[in-house]
Amino acid sequence: MKAILFAVVALLAVCAPAFATQCHVNPVNIPKEWVTMHRSCRDSMRHQIQEEVAASLQYLAMGAHFSKDTVNRPGFAKLFFDAASEEREHAMKLIEYLLMRGELTSDVTSLITIRPPERNNWANGVEALEHAVKMESSVTKSIRAVISACESAKDFNDYHLVDYLAGEFLDEQYKGQRDLAGKASTLKKMLERHPALGEFIFDKKLLGIDV
């Protein structure tokens, strides 16, 4: 009985396309020799995209913190909201690169997972800037890990991706880290004698207002 039922279902499945409305164009096959990225390299790129997204969410939380009425540091909030958008753009750039290399024809949905940011509170501006420096350092480290995965894949050094990551991403990382570290130093020096006023003035400076 079960076998008959199965046969009927199978028959229906075979015949179905003949009278079902087709709403899409059938996929086609074209040569794939040009799709050359190696698996370990691809996986580490995918991981890096998630890292950038996580950084964007952490920066959103920093922006939210410094926007609070009781914290009231609009300059810091702007700095971190802008940083959040930049991290999102980094994720987009990496995605663009994968697409250019013939990737992301499948497993796209699992590329990004949204998790609430780990931290939501900072004692003051210096603490947040220092946190940002540490975060960027760890992003830099993980980009270096991608580079090393992509230049050492078995029999395949992915020169172009390695060059792209080193030239575009590492460049931006090092400059960004230097900028944050400079800001943290300046602020920390100001705080030594004038903790409250120092952060107030620095915040307005971030907004572009000269007090």
Site of interaction with other proteins (CB under 8 A): 21-25, 27-28, 53, 57, 60-61, 63-64, 67-70, 77, 81, 84-85, 88, 91-92, 95-96, 99, 102-106, 108-109, 111-112, 114, 116-117, 120
Facing residues of 156 across strands? 153
Which residue, 27 or 208, has its beta carbon nearer to other proteins?
A: 27
Q: Which of 174, 180, 86 is nearest to 129 (CA)?
A: 180
Q: Which of 93, 88, 89, 80 is nearest to 146 (CA)?
A: 93
Which residue, 103 or 172, has its beta carbon nearer to other proteins?
A: 103
Q: How far apart are the first and last CA of the chain?
A: 86
Length of the chain: 211
Give φ, ψ of 153 to 5 degrees: -60, 150
Which range in 4-12, 63-71, 87-95, 114-122 contacts Fe ion by CB under 5 A?
Answer: 87-95
Q: What's the min distance (Å) between Cβ of 89 and Fe ion? A: 8
Q: What's the min distance (Å) between Cβ of 66 and other proteins? A: 9
Which residue, 63 or 198, has its beta carbon nearer to other proteins?
A: 63
Choose among Fe ion, other proteins, none what residue 90 binds, the Cβ cut-off being 5 to 8 Å by kind: Fe ion
Q: Which of 91, 68, 67, 96 is nearest to 79 (CA)?
A: 67
What distance in Å separates the CA atoms of residue 53 and residue 77, rounded to the nearest whole number? 18
Which residue, 87 or 158, has its beta carbon nearer to other proteins?
A: 87
Using CB under 5 A as the binding rule, the residues of this chain from 40 to 79 that contact Fe ion are: 52
Q: What's the min distance (Å) between Cβ of 118 and other proteins? A: 10
Q: By CB under 5 A, is residue 90 in contact with Fe ion? A: yes
DSSP 155: T
Choose among other proteins, Fe ion, none what residue 24 binds, the Cβ cut-off being 5 to 8 Å by kind: other proteins
Q: Rounded to whole angstroms, what are the CA distances from 74 to 26, 203, 207?
A: 52, 7, 7
Q: Which residues make up the interface to Fe ion (CB under 5 A)?
A: 52, 87, 90
